[in-house]
Amino acid sequence: MTDVVVVGAGQAGASVVAKLRAEGFAGTITLIGAEKVPPYQRPPLSKAYLLGDMAQERLYLRPAGFYADQDIALRLDTRVVAIDPAAQTITLTGDETLRYDHLVLATGAHPRTLPAAIGGTLDGVYAMRDLADADALAPELVAGRQVLIVGGGYIGLEAAAVAAKRGLRVTLVEMADRILQRVAAPQTSDYFRALHRAHGVTIRESVGLDRLLGDTRVTGARLTDGTELSIDFAIVGAGVTPATVLADSAGLHVGNGITTDSHGRTSDPHIWAAGDCASCLFHGNRIRLESVGNAIDQAEAVALNIMGRDLPYLPKPWFWSDQYDCKLQIAGLNTGYTHVHLRKGETPGSQSHWYYRGADLLAVDAMNDPRNYMIGKRLIEAGRSPDPALIIAPATDMKALLT
Ligand code: FAD
């Protein structure tokens, strides 16, 4: 009997085990998660769930009986503390050991926190990664209160949108010269800056946090330009780092994430990695994606490869973000773009930004424009690059570009 053990009961871990059973894997499967709850979706934590529009039950990826029905041993509130690759065993908290034939690392990522020296450990300072973080933060969202959001990436902006919708006074600081600088073009930053300002959010760019102020609980913040704000609480959305400690101490190759080959295998032939923790190959480059789509696809490829299917995994990046009444959908990866072309959509506020490197289409950001998102996604996946003059021309029949 083949024993598969999966470390990390998040999106990728849950996808590996479900795919194995769906494909008829007959060995034993153990899914181990440090959190107290079964695998759930994280995206709503900074969107509908935080807003109070989605019940906790709807976050769960599978119905309550799924794991037992599928003969998957789900061990929650349990942390894997060590891997012994030579013996093919792992150690859990409490010193229990488990043997594996295949081990999958689906350990996700940790949110970057602020150092204690600048007030990062004061009460009233929140991260946004886990259900427990969202549940701790939710009671703070009371109309009229003042929140500081540190970081203008997608999670910070989504938290700002929720807080503004709930009637809070919101200030967001981004130390780079524009929000979304790491992930999007200036045109996309401009769109979201204007959207947030229209909802009353104060966005401060090229300004960082100097320190949070307060004795035991945060009461204020000093910014790098010397401004002092009085605040009721703070949310830190400063990005994540891949959870690689286990892999590192087991001697696996680790760079920006756990290094995997084209099939999802790490530097140890019996150990695989998938999701936010894994660094994978994309057209000859090493990348690490932080998205649901990648967590599912990479995990499913690993499951099939464990079963000997010999399938290379080529990421098809896609992502979304919800802010107010805007749905942003992104297809492709814009790394290395040289030009961005704007196409106006058919309804007010809808538009898409098309990223090119020279003549090659790399990615599309579509704001309230699902049709052009889908067309862009299909073009990118097919490796096709329409002339940008067609993209910007209002008269172009975009669907015809697919034929
Ligand atoms: P995770 O879902 O983080 O799961 C990893 C699990 O492993 C965790 O439960 C962790 O506790 C556990 N673990 C780690 N180490 C151990 C150990 N040693 N022992 C046992 N268990 C361990 N993506 C999108 O595509 N669109 C979005 O709109 C979007 N919004 C997001 C909003 C928020 C607030 C967050 C936090 C993420 C969002 N993402 C979004 C990203 C997406 O949720 C992640 O890319 C996805 O969850 C990655 O799945 P994963 O399984 O790799 O990691």
Residue 374 lies in a domain: yes
Residues 273 and 220 in one domain: no
pTM value? 0.97
Whether residue 177 sits in one domain with residue 119: yes
Tell me: do 124 and 156 sit in the same domain: yes
d(CA 342, CA 366): 10
Atom number, ligand 1, closest to the C-alpha of residue 39: 9
97 vs 193, 220, 273, CA distance in Å? Answer: 51, 47, 20
Distance CA 72, CA 69 (A): 8
| CATH number, residue 344 | 3.30.390.30
Residue nearest to atom 33 of ligand 1 (CA): 43
Q: What pLDDT score does 291 carry?
A: 97
SS3 letters across the chain = CCEEEEECCCHHHHHHHHHHHHCCCCCEEEEECCCCCCCECCHHHHCHHHHCCCCHHHHECCCCCHHHHCCEEEECCCCEEEEECCCCEEEECCCCEEECCEEEECCCEEECCCCHHHCCCCECEECCCCHHHHHHHHHHCCCCCEEEEECCCHHHHHHHHHHHHCCCEEEEEECCCCCCCCCCCHHHHHHHHHHHHHCCCEEEECCCEEEEECCCECCEEEECCCCEEECCEEEECCCEEECCHHHHHCCCCEECEEECCCCCECCCCCEEECHHHEEEEECCEEECCCCHHHHHHHHHHHHHHHCCCCCCCCCCCEEEEEECCEEEEEEECCCCCCEEEEEECCCCCCEEEEEEECCEEEEEEEECCHHHHHHHHHHHHCCCCCCHHHHHCCCCCHHHHHC
Find out whether 121 and 218 touch, Cβ atoms under 8 Å: no
- Is 317 within a domain? no
Q: How far is the CA of 10 from the centre of ligand 1 (A)?
A: 6
Asked whether this complex has an ipTM greater than 0.85, the answer is yes
- Residue 179 placed within a domain: yes
Q: Ligand 1, from 276, 279, 365: best to mutate by most atoms within 8 Å of Cβ?
A: 276
The amino acid sitting at 371 is R
Which residue has a Cα nearest atom 30 of ligand 1?
43
Would 51 be classed as within a structural domain?
yes
Residue 354 has a pLDDT of 98
Q: What is the dihedral of CA 48, 54, 57, 59, to 10 degrees?
A: -20
C-alpha of residue 214 to centroid of ligand 1, in Å: 31
Distance 110 CA to ligand 1 centre (A): 9
Atom from ligand 1 closest to the CA of residue 15: 51
CA 109 – ligand 1 centroid, Å: 6
As a whole number of angstroms, the distance between CA 234 and CA 114 comes to: 11
Q: What is the identity of the amino acid at 283?
A: H
Tens of each residue's pLDDT in the chain, 403 residues: 899 999 999 999 999 999 999 999 999 999 999 999 999 999 999 999 999 999 999 999 999 899 999 999 999 999 999 999 999 999 999 999 999 999 999 999 999 999 999 999 999 999 999 999 999 999 999 999 999 999 999 999 999 999 999 999 999 999 999 999 999 999 999 999 999 999 999 999 999 999 999 999 999 999 999 999 999 999 999 999 999 999 999 999 999 999 999 999 999 999 999 999 999 999 989 999 999 999 999 999 999 999 999 999 999 999 999 999 999 999 999 999 999 999 999 898 899 999 999 999 999 999 999 999 999 999 999 999 999 999 999 999 999 999 9
Residues 145 and 212 in one domain: yes
Given 236, 266, 283, which residue is the final one in a domain?
Answer: 236
Tell me how many domains the chain contains: 3
Identify which of 45, 74, 157, 290 to mutate to test ligand 1's pocket (most ligand atoms within 8 A of the CB).
290
Which pLDDT score, from 0 to 100, does residue 62 have?
Answer: 98
Q: What is the CATH number of the domain that holds 135?
A: 3.50.50.60
Q: Is 318 among the domain residues?
A: no
Q: What is the model's pLDDT at position 321?
A: 97
* 389 in a structural domain: yes
**Which pLDDT value is given to residue 255?**
97
Same domain, 143 and 219: yes
Q: Give the pLDDT confidence score for residue 93 in this predicted structure.
A: 94
Distance 174 CA to ligand 1 centre (A): 23
Q: How far is the CA of 108 from the centre of ligand 1 (A)?
A: 5
Nearest residue (CA) to ligand 1, atom 41: 291
Tell me which of 7, 11, 30, 31 to substitute to probe ligand 1's pocket, judged by most ligand atoms within 8 Å of the beta carbon: 11
Q: Under the phi-then-psi rule, with left for phi > 0, alpha for psi from -120 to 50, and beta for the rest, what region is 360?
A: beta
Closest CA to ligand 1's atom 4: 10
Tell me if 125 sits within 8 A of 217, measured CB to CB: no
Q: Residue 398's domain spans which residues? A: 325-402
Verify that 62 and 155 share a domain, yes or no: no
Residue 1 has a pLDDT of: 86
CA of 276 to the centre of ligand 1 (A): 7
Please list every protein residue whose CB sits less than 6 Å from any atom of ligand 1.
7-13, 32-35, 42-43, 45-46, 79-80, 106-109, 128-129, 155, 243, 246, 275-277, 290-293, 295, 319-321
Measured in degrees and rounded to the nearest 5, phi and psi for residue 124 equal 90, 10
CA of 358 to the centre of ligand 1 (A): 34
- Domain boundary at 259, 278, 306, which? 306
Task: Determine the distance separating the centroid of ligand 1 and the alpha carbon of 131, expressed in angstroms.
Answer: 10
133 and 169 part of one domain? yes
Token duo for residue 387: 């002339």
> Which residue has the CA at smallest separation from atom 11 of ligand 1?
34
Tally of CB atoms within 10 A around 352? 26
Residues 12 and 100 both lie in one domain: yes
User: Of 310, 307, 312, 313, whose CA–CA distance to 24 is shortest?
Assistant: 307
34 CA distance to ligand 1 middle (Å): 12
Cα(39) to centroid(ligand 1), Å: 10
Region label for 40, one of left (φ > 0), alpha (ψ between -120 and 50) or beta (otherwise): beta
